[in-house]
Structure 1
Amino acid sequence: MLSDVFFVFWLVTELNSATNINNHFYLRCFYFKPTMNAYLFLTTVIGITLHLCQAFLNDSICFKEVGCFSKEGPFSKHRPINVLPDSPEEIQTQFFLFTRSNRLEPQILKFNDKEFLKKSNFVASKDTKFIIHGYRSSGQKTWTKQLTSELLKHGDYNVIVVDWSPGARSLYPKAASNTRVVGAEVSLLINLMIDLMGAMSQKMHLIGHSLGAHVSGYAGKRLNKLGRITGLDPAGPYFEKTDSVVRLDRADALFVDVIHTDTGGLLDFAIGIQQPIGHLDVYANGGQYQPGCPISKIPGSIIKGISHLLDHLGKEMKHTFLCSHRRAQVFFIESVNSGCPFHTYPCQNYSQLEKANCLARHDMGRLGFHSDKASGRGVHMLKTFADAPYCGYHYRLNITGLSNIMGKIFVTLKGTKGETQVTNVVGKRSRLLAHNIPFASLFLVHKDIGELESVSVSYVKTKKILGFIFSSDWTLGSLNIFSGETHKMYRFSVKNAVIKAKTSRTFKVMD
């Protein structure tokens, strides 16, 4: 998906002295001993050079129906290689309509053809969902098919998959610029639906991943009172810290919700945008990387990224670079019909969330499809599991001991609706819990257990060399558990209760 962007990052450092002063183009010579295929290297350099030449020769470009586009003003900032978009004929955007009457075989729509729309299964009174892919992707990917299926399972919607794959498979600077044309085409199709069929812009919901999120933003800027835009980890390169007219922004729809799953700096090779840009910005698991995905992309980029241009990514390398970025897709897909609410909490940083300092706030939000139904707005966070199903129910454990221990603590919750799995509440490493020092931890359980009735607690002593100085038994001082979903506190009478190592002890909720 990002086979060119990381090479572009490197090439920009070499072409950084290519200036646009007085609209002249200078390209300095540089030495590079390529270890990759010489043909690929040469064609890539030539391609970028041609794009650069075009950028310096033209300041704007106009196309029939979709209008004119300039690379000046706010579009000239934070873009090392600033180019104009391709024509609609080159981008070849296609619109595929799915409804409950044609779940598997799409009907083709065109933004400039009334007859296609009239003959289709489009019903103006129904809500319409647009699905828009990102860089080097297409409308035929598994995630677009899964989301289409889940949406039609949930409601009787018009679902339109936007496929702009020819324009998305250009070099990244060009693809980023092409989003402007695609956004204009989406807006023209929506206006056709309004003028010809009597549809309402408030019933339109655009769901865009990566560059597709910014396509949605450009469409929203051209429309009056667009209902909703969901940005699934909107692309960061060429959009981070730009003016609001360049990227997706909260002003682009009545409600803009954003899921951040791959944020960070340049050395992190982060793909998603870091800044909050919506009415609700959910930073899942802190937003920087997702559980179950590789933490660092740097080693892989050094070893294989430059030497192979990342143009022939294997499954392992794709997983390394794209796992966290794609997690926004699966979160949203799961949220459509999940019984789990994907509750989010107003947190400014992930350490606050890990310590469960945000759960007591009542202005909860929701990640994904149902986020418009919750009151929470602003910057929110939540914790998820590393594997599907990702959604969980949040609990905060507060506990103190009357003895010094080092190891792991496990709890099992039992409620009116069932019992949870055994859960490690201290993380992968053993923790030191000192005498009378409070310990707080956020943990997840997979199912709704109703009203909490009891908790079982066990302690496993560390096996490290210095473990002998810590007690094998643990004397408790206090214990309470707070539910992040119901905001109810459960207290337990545990003072002076002793938990023997590797032995579970159950305590009932105090009346």
Structure 2
Amino acid sequence: MKMYIFLLFFLSSILLASGFNLFSVLGSLPIDKGQVCYENFGCYDKSEISSEWPITKKLSFYPESPEKQNVTFYVFSCRDRFNPTIINYNVTEDNLKKMNYNPKNRTIFIVHGFTDYYEQVNWMGNIKDYILSMKPCLLNVIIVDWRGGSIVRNYLQAVANTRLVGFVIASLIKKLNKVYGTTNDHFTVMGHSLGGQISGFVGKNLQQPEKLRLIIGLDPAGPAYSDVSDKSRLNPNDANLVITIQTNGGENVANGLGILKPSGHYSFFPNGGEDQEGCEQARGITNMLLRGISVGLSDTFACSHRRAYQLMSFNESNFDDFQSLAHRCDNYEDFAAGKCGECEKPEDCIRWGGWYDYWQEQKPPKNWEKPLVYFIKTRGELPYSYYFYQVLIKTSDKFEPIKAKLNLIMTGNVRSDYSVQISFEAKLEPNQTYPHLVFLAKSIGLVKSINLKISTETKKNAYIYIDHIKVNYMNGYDESIRQKLSPKLKPVSEKDGKIIINSPEATRFEYINEH
């Protein structure tokens, strides 16, 4: 209950800081007048919003006019990544011929969310600079600023506005296709929060003659979208490939600002997709002291939500050769427990990163039926990546089950003067495998040795038998690299398979190259 009240306090503070006023919402409820039409930009019913909002039909809105929203596009290319061509929502085809634009390169649109806007020095500018500094430079970047529709006193009005913004972006893509002879497959749309939902509306307006190549939804907004129909939210049908990075999902607005339901062909859930490392509520006090109450509260409450776009402007190869992979698992708890570290099938693990080169060329599996969910653990600061090792301890037979604490000291062939210390508890039984996930800031390469002690407070003169310890290296795009760095370690001598509980001496396991 205290946690719920705390979250509501955070939410109310953000809404107040954004100019939200419940009485202004109730006092400005729109009259239902059928459809509202805007010349060249479509006709609209009142928006569909999810049942978490009371009297949903009364609280739904029509999108505001194109003039009011004033959607503006900032066009960048590899020729000039700092100085854009600026065009508005009703740009003519003749003016499109005079832009900082290279039609030989594919194009990515970047779209912000509620109360947000574009600046060269905010997250949108950071991602733009990252994309255009890549070697080779492969993409044009068009940043969408719809601040006239996003910086409003009423969140539900902004929700309604997303449909028109999506139509406006789709209209620009159609004009670009006509002027430059490109197709819908030439374009990627990436959006954060409400911008993620806008990306879906772009795709819904570009279903023929072919779909968009790719949509990347960055923690697509959850409030008002949690249980609406597919026509009113981002879903896999909106592009040939839809990817979502979901960092702050919740069942309702008190639990998270993103949508909890997997929304893409591939849906990535860093740290379980609800709360991110480094976004603990205790840090809110520091934020408030350093940045003021309203900004500090907003930063703290939205921290996990914003992590989605921070991850997208992060190039892990600038720090180390992580080659990170995300893994399929029944749930994040099982992943964090080390139960899903092997890639037995191609779809069991998939590349985390490469959003602007690798993923631009990918397609869903031919047998795709429903969203494929992937998990990865990330850090709370740069670099966000880890090196992962799955440790699998395989017991043999002829011992009594016992609940014990396992202490391992693991040494690899890289940074051999450093040893990783691991402790975890388990109920040990014969002929079972016990997993544990190890995540490190730096690689230790091939694990060469493990010293193991087992302790318990409940039994004396007890022992168990361990057949071997398998260590699966979980990074690396190439399967052969992972296999090469995934050793099986055996007891140094046959008698060492018998481990005396509470022995002061560690049992040593070493890698034996069987090839």
Give the TM-score taking structure 2 as reference length: 0.77
Deviation at 1:139, TM superposition (A): 1.3
Structure 2 counterpart SS, 1:334: coil
CA 1:358–1:460: 2 relative to 1, 3 Å: closer
CA contact (8 A) 1:284 1:290 kept: yes
One of 102, 116, 120 as aligned partner of 1:137:
116
The answer to whether the aligner puts 1:313 opposite 2:290 as a matched pair is no
Which residue of structure 2 lines up, in the alignment, with residue 332 of structure 1?
Answer: 312
Q: Tell me, in whole angstroms, the C-alpha distance in 2 between the residues paired with 1:457 and 1:205.
A: 50
The answer to whether the aligner puts 1:150 opposite 2:130 as a matched pair is yes
Structure 1 counterpart SS, 2:256: coil
CA 1:407–1:8: 2 relative to 1, 3 Å: closer
Aligned residues: 456
One of 456, 470, 488 as aligned partner of 1:480:
470
CA contact (8 A) 1:412 1:419 kept: no
CA contact (8 A) 1:473 1:501 kept: no
Which residue of structure 1 lines up, in the alignment, with residue 392 of structure 2?
Answer: 398
Letter in 1 for 2:392: N
Letter in 2 for 1:359: G
CA 1:276–1:405: 2 relative to 1, 3 Å: closer
Q: Tell me, in whole angstroms, the C-alpha distance in 2 between the residues paired with 1:296 and 1:240.
A: 28
CA 1:289–1:472: 2 relative to 1, 3 Å: farther
Q: Tell me, in whole angstroms, the C-alpha distance in 1 between the residues paired with 2:228 and 2:469.
A: 48
Q: Tell me, in whole angstroms, the C-alpha distance in 1 between the residues paired with 2:20 and 2:426.
A: 57
Which residue of structure 2 lines up, in the alignment, with residue 323 of structure 1?
Answer: 303
Which residue of structure 2 lines up, in the alignment, with residue 164 of structure 1?
Answer: 146
CA contact (8 A) 1:406 1:470 kept: no
Which residue of structure 2 lines up, in the alignment, with residue 116 of structure 1?
Answer: 95
Deviation at 1:172, TM superposition (A): 0.8
CA contact (8 A) 1:110 1:116 kept: no
Deviation at 1:496, TM superposition (A): 4.0
CA contact (8 A) 1:408 1:424 kept: no
Structure 1 counterpart SS, 2:267: strand
CA contact (8 A) 2:50 2:224 kept: no
Which residue of structure 2 lines up, in the alignment, with residue 209 of structure 1?
Answer: 192
CA 1:346–1:41: 2 relative to 1, 3 Å: closer
Give the TM-score taking structure 1 as reference length: 0.77
How many percent of aligned residue pairs carry the same amino acid?
25
Cα displacement string for residues 343-400 of structure 1 (whole angstroms, at most 9, x for unaligned residues): 1222231122123333323222223414454877612212223332122233210226
Q: Tell me, in whole angstroms, the C-alpha distance in 1 between the residues paired with 2:255 and 2:449.
A: 42
Structure 1 counterpart SS, 2:229: coil
Q: Tell me, in whole angstroms, the C-alpha distance in 2 between the residues paired with 1:473 and 1:434.
A: 12
Q: Tell me, in whole angstroms, the C-alpha distance in 2 between the residues paired with 1:40 and 1:294.
A: 21
Deviation at 1:291, TM superposition (A): 2.1
CA 1:492–1:75: 2 relative to 1, 3 Å: closer
CA RMSD of aligned residues (A): 3.8
Which residue of structure 2 lines up, in the alignment, with residue 29 of structure 1?
Answer: none
Which residue of structure 2 lines up, in the alignment, with residue 341 of structure 1?
Answer: 323
Q: Tell me, in whole angstroms, the C-alpha distance in 2 between the residues paired with 1:406 and 1:328.
A: 39
One of 471, 475, 490 as aligned partner of 2:487:
490
Structure 2 counterpart SS, 1:313: helix
Q: Tell me, in whole angstroms, the C-alpha distance in 1 between the residues paired with 2:334 and 2:19.
A: 49
Q: Tell me, in whole angstroms, the C-alpha distance in 1 between the residues paired with 2:249 and 2:130.
A: 27
1:22-41 equivalences under 5 Å are none
Which segment is superposed worse, 77-86 or 374-383?
Answer: 374-383
CA 1:318–1:457: 2 relative to 1, 3 Å: farther
CA 1:319–1:44: 2 relative to 1, 3 Å: closer
Which residue of structure 2 lines up, in the alignment, with residue 356 of structure 1?
Answer: 338
The answer to whether the aligner puts 1:257 opposite 2:243 as a matched pair is yes
Which residue of structure 2 lines up, in the alignment, with residue 508 of structure 1?
Answer: 511
CA 1:497–1:176: 2 relative to 1, 3 Å: same
CA contact (8 A) 1:493 1:510 kept: no
Cα displacement string for residues 82-106 of structure 1 (whole angstroms, at most 9, x for unaligned residues): 1111111111211111222222222
Which residue of structure 2 lines up, in the alignment, with residue 236 of structure 1?
Answer: 222
Q: Tell me, in whole angstroms, the C-alpha distance in 2 between the residues paired with 1:128 and 1:220.
A: 15
CA contact (8 A) 1:97 1:160 kept: yes
Letter in 1 for 2:166: G
Deviation at 1:185, TM superposition (A): 0.9
Q: Tell me, in whole angstroms, the C-alpha distance in 2 between the residues paired with 1:42 and 1:335.
A: 36
Cα displacement string for residues 175-211 of structure 1 (whole angstroms, at most 9, x for unaligned residues): 1111111111111111111011222221211111110
CA 1:419–1:142: 2 relative to 1, 3 Å: farther
Which residue of structure 2 lines up, in the alignment, with residue 86 of structure 1?
Answer: 64
CA contact (8 A) 1:474 1:501 kept: no
Which residue of structure 2 lines up, in the alignment, with residue 126 of structure 1?
Answer: 105
CA contact (8 A) 2:165 2:198 kept: yes
